[in-house]
Amino acid sequence: MMIKEKRQIFIFLLFALVVLLVPIFLKGSYFLNVLVFIGINTLLAVALNLLLGYAGQISLGQAAFFGLGAYISGILTTRFPVDPWLALVVAAGCASVLAFVIGFPILKLKGHYLAMATLGFGIIVYIIFNETVDWTGGPSGLSGIPNLRLGPFVFDNDRNNYYLVWMMTLGVMLLSINLSQSRIGRALRAINDSEVAARVMGVNARMMKVQIFTVSAFVSAIAGSLYAHTITFISPASFGFNFSVELLTMVIIGGLGSIYGSFLGATILTMLPEFLRVFRDFDIVIYGLMLILITMFMPAGLIGGIEMSIKIIAEKIKGSAENNA
């Protein structure tokens, strides 16, 4: 057990080191820009993974919390003289309170019904973004959102944004890994495996689901706020149903219940559109196809597939070493 824990800390530190060193070796700004979006999407995927991968509760309305974070931050800083950092905190707080309140009725539902309810929530929020033109600017979007700043340090270029977003992402990843191996993480996984047995063991399943739903909304809203302040322009199109499906695809392709899997899924799905441009609107068909193939042949996602391959190769090497000896 101790060895396992040490190895995990080592893997995380290695991952963090690579993330922090990448900009030094990257000359072009374009690729850094893509990496900023990978960071934001990783945040969102980790948030959904806590809910779907650990507690086993689906949400097709994650884009709504992402959008709420972006719009609350955007509106507060463009329409009122609110500091962007304060706006970020308020946005995350508001989204959490909303998630907590709607979580109680919604999370009573299971399976398809839960998917439909969260889908409905996502669509309602999307319509609000579109129709409250006086506040959100409607379909033409909201522009002129100020950048975050830390003293004289303004997060207005790709390099600075990269560090801003990735410090946040690394933090959330570390906290999520800690959470997954704790009493709370075990209770969540227990609910996923057998809700009845978890309750008989004294796990308050309803409250636990609402709590993790709230955490998930909190992290998604932070991602939304970061998104708004880094690209300074937002429009409803980024927060629609399609994006919720994309997030779901990231989590499942990467691996349910794996934090690094979420990073992998987010990376692939963020880069993929560049290559799928030739298919135009049919890209969602490709996502669907990927989902089907992964769930059929790699139920533990790409990260599970990679772990499995490493194990097989390690055993082969061990086997041939024994043969030679």
Partner 1 sequence: MLKVESITQIFGGLTALENVSFSVAPHSITGVIGPNGAGKTTLFNIVTGLYTQTEGKVYLGDKNISFFEPEVLARLGLVRTFQNVELFGQMSVLENVMVGLHTKSKSGIFSCAFKLPGQIKEEKRIKEKAYQWLEFTGLADSADVTACNLPFGKGRLLEISRAMAVEPQIILMDEPAAGLNSRETAGLAGLIRKIQELGVTIVLVEHDMELVMDVCESIIVLNLGKKLAHGTPREIQENKAVIAAYLGED
198 close to 132: Cβ distance less than 8 angstroms: no
Q: Does 262 bind partner 1 (CB under 8 A)?
A: no
For residue 233, list its beta bridge partners: 143
Q: Does 173 bind partner 1 (CB under 8 A)?
A: no
Question: Least distance from C-beta 140 to partner 1, angstroms?
Answer: 39
CA dist., res. 191 & res. 195, Å (int): 4
CA dist., res. 222 & res. 177, Å (int): 18
Q: Does 107 bind partner 1 (CB under 8 A)?
A: no
Q: Does 200 bind partner 1 (CB under 8 A)?
A: yes
Interacting residues of 58 by C-beta distance below 8 A, sequence separation 6+? 51, 52, 111, 114, 115, 118, 248
Question: Least distance from C-beta 177 to partner 1, angstroms?
Answer: 9
Q: Does 178 bind partner 1 (CB under 8 A)?
A: yes
Among 161, 211, 258, 267, interactor with partner 1 by CB under 8 A: 211
The one-letter code for the residue type at 26 is L
Q: Does 305 bind partner 1 (CB under 8 A)?
A: no
Question: Least distance from C-beta 197 to partner 1, angstroms?
Answer: 4
Q: Does 189 bind partner 1 (CB under 8 A)?
A: yes
Q: Does 205 bind partner 1 (CB under 8 A)?
A: yes
DSSP H or E run through 88: helix 84-106
Q: What DSSP character marks residue 27? A: -
Number of residues engaging partner 1 in binding (CB under 8 A): 29
Q: Does 8 bind partner 1 (CB under 8 A)?
A: no
CA dist., res. 105 & res. 98, Å (int): 12
Question: Least distance from C-beta 3 to partner 1, angstroms?
Answer: 12
Q: Does 45 bind partner 1 (CB under 8 A)?
A: no
Q: Which is nearer to partner 1, 211 or 270 (CB)?
A: 211
Q: Does 187 bind partner 1 (CB under 8 A)?
A: yes
Among 125, 164, 203, 253, interactor with partner 1 by CB under 8 A: 203
Among 185, 224, 240, 254, interactor with partner 1 by CB under 8 A: 185
Q: What DSSP character marks residue 240? A: S
Please give the structure tokens belonging to residue 142. 């909201």
Among 16, 22, 170, 184, interactor with partner 1 by CB under 8 A: 184
250 close to 63: Cβ distance less than 8 angstroms: no
For residue 154, list its beta bridge partners: 149
Interacting residues of 322 by C-beta distance below 8 A, sequence separation 6+? none
Q: What DSSP character marks residue 143? A: E
Q: Which is nearer to partner 1, 11 or 154 (CB)?
A: 11
CA dist., res. 224 & res. 67, Å (int): 6
Question: Least distance from C-beta 324 to partner 1, angstroms?
Answer: 30
| 18 phi, psi to nearest 5 deg | -60, -45
Among 194, 295, 309, 320, interactor with partner 1 by CB under 8 A: 194
Q: Which is nearer to partner 1, 167 or 286 (CB)?
A: 167
CA dist., res. 227 & res. 141, Å (int): 14
Query: Residues in the site for partner 1, rule: CB under 8 A?
Result: 1, 175-176, 178-179, 182-187, 189-190, 192-194, 196-205, 211-212, 215
